[in-house]
Amino acid sequence: MKDDELPAWMSEAFSEARLHAYTEFMRGDRPAGIRLYWWNTEASAALYGPFHCLEVALRNSVHRRLSDLHGRADWWAVARLGDRGMGKVVEARRVCRGRGKTGTPDEIVAELSFGFWRHLLTKPNDRYFWVPAVHKAFPGYRGRRDALDDQVHSLVLLRNRIMHHEPIHHRDLREDHDKLYRIMGYVNQDLAKEIRSMDRFPAVLAAKPDALGGRRPPQF
């Protein structure tokens, strides 16, 4: 096999089309493109844990505040979610029942996407969500709603790329990582401190040159 050819198993498993973007990013260097693909996978895997903690903590914090505001755990039954938001709740309830669950508030909350919770930070939801309750879900934050929304939206997009196995290597991942911890700290500073102690992403990012140069094997 020539240096610029994909191993047969890799071409079959991942496809030429999928890997082309990585080779192209590395200016046509096929072996370097493959190494970039593996590093992208490693970086995505390393970010999964922090994203897991951020998403769960954020949704639980927002859920608690809205439950307090409306005096009921199924606050969406009386809140002004609009068609889009209620559609997400209906779909979450359908998924729960399809899995043999009753669709309790906790079960529905677990099915609602990160994007659903981020949507509660947008301008149309300012009056009925942010002002009376949602801002309290971020006790460490003192800034504007729109600035927080921009940051959370950026993280939602990154999270979705990771979960859909898409390229993230071209992003400013150091800034993304810092942003993730800023938002996590706004929600719960103790959580952010604890998760940092277990986070291997900084080491993965620092090792990128060695990984792309073939001096360090991928680890995920």
CA-CA-CA-CA torsion sign (64, 66, 72, 74):
negative
Q: How many CB atoms lie within 10 A of CB 33?
A: 21
- Amino acid residing at 213: G
pLDDT at 1: 42
- Amino acid residing at 90: V
What is d(CA 181, CA 189) in angstroms, rounded to the nearest whole number?
9
Tokens of 89: 């709740």
Nearest alpha-carbon partner for 119 in 156, 66, 158: 156
Q: What is the pTM of this model?
A: 0.92
Per-residue b/e over 69-108, b at no fewer than 16 CB within 10 Å?
bbeebebbeebebeeebeebbeebbebbeeeeeebeeebb
Q: Are 162 and 47 in contact (CB under 8 A)?
A: yes
**pLDDT of 24 higher than 50:** yes
Per-residue pLDDT, averaged over 83-112, amounts to 96
Q: How many CB atoms lie within 10 A of CB 136?
A: 15
Residue-wise pLDDT for 98-143, tens only, equals: 999 999 999 999 999 999 999 999 999 999 999 999 999 999 999 9
Nearest alpha-carbon partner for 41 in 204, 188, 181, 213: 204
Residue-wise pLDDT for 69-81, tens only, equals: 999 999 999 999 9
Per-residue pLDDT, averaged over 82-97, amounts to 95
**Helix ranges (DSSP H) in the chain:** 8-14, 16-25, 30-70, 82-98, 105-111, 114-119, 145-163, 173-187, 189-196, 201-206, 208-212
**Mean residue pLDDT across the chain:** 95
What is d(CA 102, CA 156) in angstroms, rounded to the nearest whole number?
28
